Structure 1
Amino acid sequence: MTQPDDRKQAVLPSPLQTLLLGDLDRNSPKNHLPSLHSLALQVQHNLQYMHSWTDLRIHTHSPITNQPLPRPLLSGLPPLRLYVHPDEQIELLKQADRQRIANKEAGGGSNALVIKPDPEYEWILPTRLSEKWTLRRLADVFGAISMVPPEGDSAMVNNHGQANRWRSTKRIVMATADTDSTIVYYIIHDGVVKPRPN
């Protein structure tokens, strides 16, 4: 007669746990808490696999001073432009209207206004919902970053070889993670920004 096996079956870690644990062992910087680096990896995973961002990178040092950042930040390229300056939006609408009229006079095209600005590299600030953020803490983050992430310098130039003159203030995407792994994203600008027209 055989005895029942009282041993517990091994529980394999999820793919996300494997990513976090493996990457923490290899790449965790000594100047940031492992929990902050783990949070950055969680946000990176969410952006890549749920929101189709590309060229995602974790930054631990300021591109301006090369000093450690207040906490790990991410940078990456979203699939679509996240923010269009109100004046740029008006200019894009005028250009699209001129193109629509030209197509109509040439005997083709539709009456739709087609506006599709190129995506831009963004900074991402991974946070937890339980954290308390003050203007001072945000100012410390803004003070340590450049207008665009280092790999995004070339993205400041559009398809016509011109720099994006509308991007005149620093901005970050604040990624706020809850305990249930839900992540909500907010765009935060450094300073006063012209409001969008209704």
Structure 2
Amino acid sequence: MSTTDGHLEALTKVVLNNLENQHDWTQLQTHAQQNLPRQLIYGLPPKRLYVHPDEQIEMIKAEKDRKEPIPQSPELEWVLPLHLAENWSLSQFAAVFDAMDAVPPGSSTPEILGPDDPDAQWKLWRGAKRGKRLLLATVQDDSTVTYYWMFDGLVKPRQN
């Protein structure tokens, strides 16, 4: 094992530990495949972390008709461990997005009942139909981890 491999392994362990013990993620796994430039992590956060802006609009409409909130079950998410001192290029990030699937292994796709299902519109942004995204886990020298969303392509801003 080279020094670089040892560094990457330690970086992954710091992020895994932070997700599990500080943020209560479960089902954490590492994911490596030949065409990935770096090992990824995936896992289940305790609550849903991201709602697509178009999904948010459809959910607001659906909640208005239902007169009750729509449950927001968490989804498995990809995590890319990085160190603050690393300089990644756009082509390196593009290689990660090209190599990964939209959803991590073991993700369940919400069932869409059909065109008569009043909730079908907001379900279109979940499961395999969602865009590729990952959570950048940026580790600093003192082991502080900061998380940022990164998307493959353009995503319009969310409504607050």
- Structure 1 unaligned runs (5+)? 1-28, 62-66, 101-112
Aligned structure 1 segments of 4 or more residues deviating by more than 4 angstroms: 158-164
Deviation at 1:171, TM superposition (A): 0.4
Q: Does 1:90 align with 2:57?
A: yes
Paired position in structure 1 for 2:131: 169
RMSD across aligned positions (CA): 2.4
Alpha-carbon separation, structure 1, partners of 2:111 and 2:84? 36
> Would the aligned equivalents of 2:55 and 2:123 in 1 still touch at CA under 8 Å?
no
Identity between Structure 1 and Structure 2 (%): 45
Structure of larger gyration radius:
1
Paired position in structure 1 for 2:117: none
Q: Greater relative contact order: 1 or 2 (C-alpha under 8 angstroms, separation 6 or more)?
A: 2
Question: TM-score, with normalisation over the residues of structure 1?
Answer: 0.68
Picking from 31, 34, 58, the partner of 2:30 is 58
Deviations 1:61-118 (A, max 9, x none): 1xxxxx2521111001111111101111112122222222xxxxxxxxxxxx634422
Deviation at 1:51, TM superposition (A): 0.4
> Would the aligned equivalents of 2:135 and 2:150 in 1 still touch at CA under 8 Å?
yes
Structure 1 residues 159 and 41: CA distance shift in structure 2, 3 A: farther
Picking from 81, 84, 89, the partner of 2:48 is 81
Q: How many residues align?
A: 150
**3-state SS in 2 of match to 1:173:** strand
**3-state SS in 2 of match to 1:89:** helix
